[in-house]
Structure 1
Amino acid sequence: MFNPFFAPLLLAIESQQVIELRLVRLAWGGQESWAEMNSMVFEKIAAATEATATLLTGGTPDDVVARYREHVAANTQRLRA
């Protein structure tokens, strides 16, 4: 049986890892810290715009969560490098 809360739960867990990696980068300071702060703001605006467009064009909330999970996975890989 599929649980509709499973994907959002995974998103919450995966997001915590990105938050941790970003906080470490911000704590180190310097130019990378400023770049990461700017990246966070612009990524959130872009993600909200994308989610709104998905919903307005007939997408489901599951589509939005799946796309957010892709963004989180990409950020995790980028921050670990």
Structure 2
Amino acid sequence: MFGAWWKLGMDATLLAMESQQVIGLRLAKLSLGGPAAQVEVQRMVSEKIMAANEAAMLMATGGSTQRVVAGYRRKVRANARRLSKA
């Protein structure tokens, strides 16, 4: 039991750190303005709405908090890879 809580805590901590990286990359992109910034804002908002809906559906159907955090981490890492290439 302790192991599951430890893993959840570590994953949540990593999610927080990875999210900060994406926030920094997005702020840099948004600071440049222009059409690319507008596209990024629209993507960011739609991704957040979709991710919240997915998490709510997962929890409503008996999913675990661990699976919700894992899903968020997967999305955040994908954003970090995408934004790092630009």
TM-score (norm 1): 0.96
Where in structure 1 do 4 or more consecutive aligned residues deviate above 4 Å?
Answer: none
| Aligned position for 1:74 | 78
Question: CA offset at residue 52 of structure 1?
Answer: 0.4
Q: Where is the helix percentage greater, Structure 1 or Structure 2? A: 2
Between the two proteins, what is the percent identity of the paired residues? Answer: 47
| Aligned position for 1:42 | 46
**What are the residue-to-residue correspondences of 1:51-62 with 2, within 5 Å?**
51-62=55-66
List runs of 5+ in structure 2 lacking aligned partners: none
Count of aligned positions: 81
**Aligned with residue 36 of structure 2, among 26, 32, 35:** 32
Task: Deviation per CA, 1:10-67: give whole Å up to 9, x if none.
Answer: 0000000000000000000000000000011000000000000110111001100000
Q: In 2, distance between residues paired with 1:8 and 1:74? A: 17
List runs of 5+ in structure 1 lacking aligned partners: none
Aligned-CA RMSD value: 0.9
